[in-house]
Amino acid sequence: MGNNPSLFKAPTNPVEKVSWDDIQPFLAKLNAAGIRRILSAKIASAVTEMKFALPTEAQWEYACRAGTTTTFCFGDDPAVLGDYAWYIRNSGNKTHQVGQRKPNAWGLYDMHGNVVEWCADRYAWRYYAQSPPTDPVGPSSGSARMARSSSYGSRSGFCRSMFRDGNPPDWGRSPLGFRLALVPVDQ
């Protein structure tokens, strides 16, 4: 995109200090470039009807949990968190290279720390009390956007798989970053 807004600039660290609004032109540019040009030919042939997007909140949590129902993707013991996450106790109050902690059971790294990650959905505090039970896509109105995960500055209680928060879409402070998902073109 021509610049790196991150406070902690390193080519292998996650980008941070990006707003939800900042991510939208990036997604448009990425999708305009075409899946086939970005992914390897072997992968691209399997995902031709796909596009890059922010995951929905439900997709994010499903990916984070990796089939578990525990507090964290690895169980309920916060003493093990440092093996999986960069958070207040081990981060030195900065981001770190992606993939240096253990991944969850599905091979996804940094689901419990390093940067807070924007999701596609709007934020509503009690949305899940009345949401559809399968593949909810968030409320249809509201000004705040959903952010999931925790960051290098978070205490262990904020690193839980279920932790969620909402922020204004133009809010691009550290430690807000994002994770990409491949979704069907019609989503």
Q: How far is CA 143 from CA 56, 113, 167, in A?
A: 16, 25, 9
Residue 163 contacts residue 150 (beta carbons within 8 Å): yes
CB burial class (10 A; 0-12, 13-18, 19+) of residue 12?
exposed
SS3 state at 83 = helix
In angstroms, the CA 25 to CA 21 distance is: 8
> Which residue type is seen at 4?
N
What's the predicted TM-score (pTM) here?
Answer: 0.92
What's the distance, Cα to Cα, between the start and end of the chain in Å?
Answer: 24
Query: Positive or negative, the Cα torsion across 139, 142, 145, 147?
Result: negative
Q: Rounded to the nearest 5°, which phi and psi values hold at 80?
A: -90, -10
Residue 94 contacts residue 113 (beta carbons within 8 Å): no
- Omega before 168 within 30 of 0, i.e. cis: no
In angstroms, the CA 49 to CA 158 distance is: 36
Domains of the chain: 20-184 (3.90.1580.10)
Each residue's pLDDT, cut to its tens digit, for the chain (187 residues) gives 889 999 999 999 999 999 999 999 999 999 998 776 767 666 666 666 789 999 999 999 999 999 999 999 999 999 999 999 999 999 999 999 999 999 999 999 999 999 999 999 999 988 878 888 888 888 899 999 999 999 999 999 999 999 999 999 999 999 999 999 988 888 7
Q: Rounded to the nearest 5°, which phi and psi values hold at 37?
A: -80, -20
